[in-house]
Structure 1
Amino acid sequence: MADTSAQKETTTTAEPGPAVPVSGNIEVDTSYENDSTYGDELSSYSASLTSSVLDYRHENGRRYHKYRDGSYMLPNDETENDRLDMLHEMVLLLLHKKLYLAPIGKPQRVIDLATGTGIWAIDFADEHPQAEVIGCDLSPIQPTLVPPNVKFLVDDIESDWAYENDPFDFIHARFLTFSIKDYGKLVKECYRSLKPGGWVEFQDWDAYPLSEDGSVNGTAIQRYYEEVYGTFEQAGYELRPGVKLEQWLKDAGFVNIHVEKFIIPYGVWPKDKHLKKVGAWTQAATEANGFEGIALAALTRHKNWTKEEVMILSSQARADGRRRDVHMMFHFYVAYGQRPEK
């Protein structure tokens, strides 16, 4: 089998919520202007909105977001949050403790899209105390004790943005696989919401596994990915964004585009010590109920599988993933680009 220690390829080519279009005048409720109960009414609306965001969906023993219900099919419970934090550590190891690769300098205003547990935004804020850092996600699952230059918003990044008048120096997004249906549109929204000279960076997968020696072929783990990922793709989600990021950045108008492709092994089968550690983190994160978490909603909602059927397939995939003769790996991409100065 080829030496994976050198398998990194580089190519260089140098809510607030949806905006509401207004076609006419919006009638004003003039009764509130002299109404002493306006403060109570405002509090009531705020409480109602907060309640709707926190009214999570519970299904098959897992918890899911309720805001924009169904638009994201992975859980948001503690088990899933632990998995995301483990993947964060895996990527830090892969990138030798770097949170990003773009040459961003000292940004003043930064946003982390689909921030999840907020761990990247918090780490970035610690490294860049001069920056205002926003993390947005469908679920308010982030901690409350955070650096003073961090804040978190509940937002749907697939809706129209409203940041053009308050743009960013740096936009970061990681692990949007399973989340986005129109990735190209999202990249264009990033372009519109950056300051001239600002940078965007995406860190994402080609989520389908491969093996150089064909050892994944015919295994339960191959069947798992075909069943689960096929369901996501039929529902319209982008599962191979990594290979398309460079073209999307070009199409949006970015310059100074840079793409790096990394090998992420699953398990400790590589001889290379660095890749062995990366593979150990990947396997640990996936076995932390990752198989079930990714599959449950997709297969039970879209393919009428029972929970028990999903658990059996996940258990079989986990078992094959532990086999020493199965040498599974993934491609992971880091792509960044700059909005032109002029």
Structure 2
Amino acid sequence: MAAPFSNRQTTSTTTNHAPANVEVDASYENDESYGDQLSWYSASLTSSALDYRIENGRRYHRFRDGSYLLPNDERESDRLDMIHELFLVLLHRKLYLAPIKNPRRVIDLATGTGIWAIDFADQHPEAEVIGCDLSPIQPTSVPPNLKFLVDDIESEWTYGRDPFDYIHARFLAVSIKNYGKLVKQCYKSLRPGGWAEFQDWDGYPLSEDGSLDGTALQRYFNEVYGAFAEAGVEVRPGPKLEQWLKDAGFVNIHVEKFVVPFGVWPKDPHLKELGAWNQAQAEASGFEGLALAALTRYKQWKTEEVIVLASQARADGRRRDIHSLFHFYVVYGQRPEN
């Protein structure tokens, strides 16, 4: 039997927001009076957005224990809210880019602290909004049109029997084992004409000038993501999203690629602000939080060894001569009307 829509021409457009080269702020590297910009940015920026397993001094989810390797404690919640602000800066205060109109039923996958879902519910009081996550860490005081569910989005959906108008998934890297299957589940759970939007990383950093090569910061990501590979989870979904949406049957696929620096080394003010947020969230607890469970459970590292690696990576992240950055993708597509 032929696959559904097998004769359909899938349309796809790509917008690349990644400049050919990110110019370094020369005064940051050369002027000692420049000071510690990260401290200044952290102080000014973070002021605006800020039955468990206990392991290595951190708290982890118990439901579907072990399927997600990052903590769910207060330190991690603060970090996730900082990342929310990073994404708002990246997208110029937009919560989404898909061309949705009058959505009636919406779900936010892996909602975390629920901050995106709360903002969306406030902006769309006419919509029924669901936030779904493994951990019940969301606030209880929320808009009346929003509810939170504790569930594993990689299991069969029971909340998708009534189709959604819009499905949102942001930062699922390092948490999903079969991302392509999840995209197909989203397709099945959309009404005809509905949209799904995925915002995610290519998790490995790079440097355009080679300054990252051979550093402790580079070793950190190689070691940590090697452990995530042992766990079987996807660490760089961003570049693969377009193909996953095509394979699932989506049409009108749109891809936008962004640069997110690490640190305040770029000259461009917008990129500098993004870099400040990115470094601030990593220093808040990201280095340890990302590495602890993955390396101790799958690579048999000692806790002290992980702390040393994270400390070395943090020190490299503050070096003025290392100009690392990440690529971030926003990819959305539509289920065909018919």
Q: What band does the TM-score fall into relative to the shorter chain? A: 0.7 to 0.9
SS in 1 for 2:328: strand
Shift of residue 2, structure 1, vs aligned partner: 5.1
Unmatched tracts of structure 1, length 5 or more? 6-54
Aligned position for 1:62: 58
Which of 117, 122, 125 is the aligned partner of 2:118? 122
Q: Give the aligned partner of residue 136 of structure 1.
A: 132
| Structure 1 position 4 matched with structure 2 position 22 | yes
CA distance in 1, matches of 2:321, 2:219: 17
**Aligned match of 1:188 in 170, 184, 191?**
184
Match for 1:242 among 238, 241, 244? 238
SS of equivalent to 1:289: helix
1:168 aligns with 2:164: yes
CA 1:2/1:185 → structure 2, altered by over 3 Å: closer, same or farther? closer
Cα distance in structure 2, aligned partners of 1:91 and 1:4: 19
2:307 to 305, 311, 314: 311
**Residue in 2 that maps onto 1:84:** 80
SS in structure 1 of the partner of residue 97 of structure 2: coil
Q: What does 1:1-342 correspond to in 2, within 5 Å?
A: 3-4=21-22, 55-342=51-338
Alpha-carbon separation, structure 2, partners of 1:86 and 1:255: 33
Shift of 1:164: 4.4
Deviation of 1:233 (Å): 1.1
Specify the SS of the correspondent of 2:173.
coil
Residue 234 (structure 1) shift: 2.0
Distance 1:320 1:260 in 2: 29
CA distance in 2, matches of 1:330, 1:87: 14
CA distance in 2, matches of 1:138, 1:165: 20
Which deviations, in whole Å up to 9, do the C-alpha atoms of 1:39-93 show, x marking residues without a partner?
xxxxxxxxxxxxxxxx100001000000000000000000001111000000000
Q: Output the CA distance in 2 between the equivalents of 1:204 and 1:2.
A: 21
**Which 4+ residue blocks in structure 1 deviate beyond 4 angstroms?**
none
Separation in 2 of the partners of 1:179 and 1:114?
9
RMSD: 1.1
Q: What letter corresponds to residue 216 of structure 1 in structure 2?
A: L
Structure 1 equivalent of residue 38 of structure 2: none
**Matched letter for residue 170 of structure 1:** Y
**Counterpart AA for 1:292:** E
Q: Deviations over 1:156-207 (max 9, x none)?
A: 0000112443110000000100100100000000000000000000000000
Please, what TM-score do these two structures have when normalized by structure 1?
0.84
Q: Could you say if the C-alpha distance between residues 130 and 304 of structure 1 is closer, same or farther in structure 2, counting changes exceeding 3 Å?
A: same
For the residues of structure 2 that align with 1:335 and 1:315, how far apart are their CA atoms?
34
SS at match of 2:279: helix
Cα separation, 2, equivalents of 1:223 and 1:294: 14
CA distance in 1, matches of 2:312, 2:293: 18
Per the alignment, in what secondary structure is the counterpart of residue 117 of structure 2?
A: helix
SS at match of 2:266: coil
Q: How many residues align?
A: 293
Structure 2 counterpart of 1:151, one-letter code: K
Distance of 1:93 and 1:185 partners within structure 2: 30
Match of 1:26 in 2: none
Given residue 264 of structure 2, which amino acid in structure 1 is its aligned partner?
Answer: V
Which secondary structure state, in structure 1, belongs to the residue aligned with residue 64 of structure 2?
coil
SS in 2 for 1:229: helix
Partner of 1:52: none
Provide the C-alpha distance between the structure 2 equivalents of 1:135 and 1:83, rounded to a whole number of angstroms. 18
Residues 212-236 of structure 1, C-alpha deviation per residue, up to 9 Å, x if partnerless? Answer: 0010111101110110011101211
Q: Could you tell me which amino acid in structure 1 is paired with residue 161 of structure 2?
A: N
- Match of 2:309, SS? helix
After superposition, the Cα gap between the structure-2 partners of 1:311 and 1:164, relative to the gap in structure 1 and judged at 3 Å, is closer
Q: Which amino acid aligns with 2:56?
A: N
Match of 1:118, as an amino acid? G
CA distance in 2 between partners of 1:163 and 1:69 (Å): 21
SS of the residue 2:122 aligns to? helix
> Aligned partners of 2:57 and 2:158: how far apart in 1?
36
- Quickly say closer, same or farther: Cα 1:164–1:147, change in 2 above 3 A: closer
Structure 2 regions of 5+ residues with no counterpart?
A: 1-18, 24-50
Code of the aligned partner of 1:257: I
Larger-gyration structure (1/2): 1
